[in-house]
A and B are shown apart, each in its own frame.
Chain A
């Protein structure tokens, strides 16, 4: 299983994800602009932004601790690990068993904790505000995500993403009501974790309405570039997990270079549709009052638990 072509495939897959993630963000911004009847920016705008940020001098507060400076790299590392593990183009990759779905949720939790700690580092009220709100959303989003993935795990009998995707891709077309519940819950968690409307507005500039942006207010230049890049990779990873769980057709085996073009094409189509869908949801919904966000996420959590229970009922 640890063959050299397999490892090369896996590393290439992760590089592909890291490089393609800002493109997805650009596509979603374009769709949003079209839906809001504005003229859209270039789809490559996130890349230009990243390049611009890397060129700048970093401006930091005088009291910034080493944790503050380390966090953007740690965030980037965590998201790269997620890109390595999620079956984007192929299942059965050699290092994919290093982390199953629970560890994947753990990676995102690690990133969230480091971001929150860095936010509290400077000592301004905004950092504390961002950290507090992020943890408020996270404490329900993480269990909801875990329960959603558990539903998929119960259906396929394993917590390995490889096995789950293979089981769901290759079995006969069966409609699982529990997966339907899990899908709705997953969508709600995706919106919450990636700081999208209705939980958070990614394009706000009013500090008191921010959740995620408030945590990264103090970052600039290369640190900000790494954090923004990590956010884009996170969105890409979440969407790919959703695609892998709920629409896994077209995915290829590790080391099978022949199936690669089909996998790439299928992924592009699925992500384009998903991105447009996300933009549509963001345009139709309005941002929730902050204390309605726990209710939103509690509904996601309960839906996921309900999906698990329905699985047990319908199966036996």
Chain B
């Protein structure tokens, strides 16, 4: 099955995206997490560029530029400043240990691949075999949100999930309409700022960003 050069490059970038999702799942240091997230944004932008070049859709160039500006530069910078001011450096504990998390991740990846197989047959884009990978990276980011104890990695998981969604959209349907995309991008930006505000509140209240403390808010 000889796919074109652009198809192969997109496949490679999809694999890189999945690799980054797994790497984020196994990372302990928050600073490295932010860097990995920035790399993920770069891979996303590169793949959008390639799809734009291969299919000649002008609006994809614009969304690639938007991705670079937002996900590679702005949001990582915001997160960087946030953890600087909150003195967050390490996140050693997760709810379940890392090898078990990776095993669950593999299971989720198989599940996503199995789910996406019939859909890939129906799609007709140049990137259809990457739908499974995109679905897998969404599920993995969700898993990362669940197993982390501190708040900052959870936010990064949420943002990575949005990355996966974007990639899924690009691979199945050549991207969403530009209006929707701009709206989603704005939502994400606003969401990040709001999260930042919440972090300060949580830390003021509990002197720590460990989410277990939030259980103290229970009624009894």
Which A residues are closer than 8 A to B by beta carbons? 172, 174-175, 177-178, 180-181, 184, 294-295, 298-299, 302-303, 305-306, 309-310, 312-316
Contacts and interface: CB of A to CB of B under 8 A. Distances in A.
A309 B109 contact: yes
Contacts of A294: 99
Given A313-B132, A314-B129, A177 B15 contact: yes
Contacts of B26: 295, 299
A306 B11 CA distance: 14
19 contacts: A172-B2, A175-B8, A175-B11, A180-B12, A184-B19, A294-B99, A295-B98, A298-B102, A302-B22, A302-B103, A306-B18, A306-B22, A306-B106, A309-B113, A310-B15, A310-B18, A310-B133, A313-B117, A314-B129
A177 B106 contact: no
Interface string B1-25: 1100000110110111011001000
A313 B129 contact: yes
A32 B58 CA distance: 49
A177 B102 contact: no
Interface residues of B, number: 26
Nearest to B15: A177
Given A177-B11, A306-B22, A315 B1 contact: yes
Given A177-B12, A305-B106, A313 B99 contact: no
Given A305-B106, A313-B129, A177 B14 contact: yes
Closest 8 CB pairs of A and B: A177-B15, A175-B8, A313-B113, A175-B12, A298-B99, A302-B102, A177-B12, A314-B129
A233 B14 CA distance: 37
Contacts of B19: 181, 184, 303, 306
Interface string B168-212: 000000000000000000000000000000000000000000000
B110 interface: yes
A310 B132 CA distance: 9
A310 B11 CA distance: 10
Interface in B128-167: 129, 132-133
A172 to B, nearest CB: 8
Q: Which of A180, A299, A310, A316 has the most CB of B within 10 A?
A: A310
Contacts of A177: 11-12, 14-16
A303 B23 CA distance: 10
B12 A306 contact: no
Contacts of B15: 177-178, 180-181, 310
Nearest to A302: B102
Nearest to B23: A299
Contacts of B109: 306, 309
A308 to B, nearest CB: 11
A305 B19 CA distance: 12
A295 B99 contact: yes
Contacts of B98: 295
A314 B11 contact: yes
Interface in B97-135: 98-99, 102-103, 105-106, 109-110, 113, 117, 129, 132-133
Contacts of A306: 18-19, 22, 106, 109
Contacts of B11: 175, 177, 314
Given A306-B18, A310-B133, A299 B12 contact: no
A178 B15 CA distance: 8
B199 to A, nearest CB: 29
Contacts of B113: 309, 312-313
Given A310-B15, A313-B133, A175 B9 contact: yes
Given A175-B9, A177-B16, 4 more contacts: A181-B15, A309-B106, A310-B15, A313-B132
Nearest to A312: B113
- Max chain B C-beta neighbours (<10 A), residue from A295, A298, A306: A306
Nearest to A184: B19
A309 B111 CA distance: 11
Nearest to B103: A302
A312 B1 CA distance: 13
A44 to B, nearest CB: 40
Interface in B63-99: 98-99
Contacts of A312: 113
Nearest to B19: A181
A127 B120 CA distance: 55
A137 to B, nearest CB: 15
A244 B11 CA distance: 23
A309 B9 contact: no
Contacts of A175: 8-9, 11-12
Contacts of A174: 2, 8
Contact of B106 (A178, A180, A302, A316): A302
Contacts of A314: 11, 129
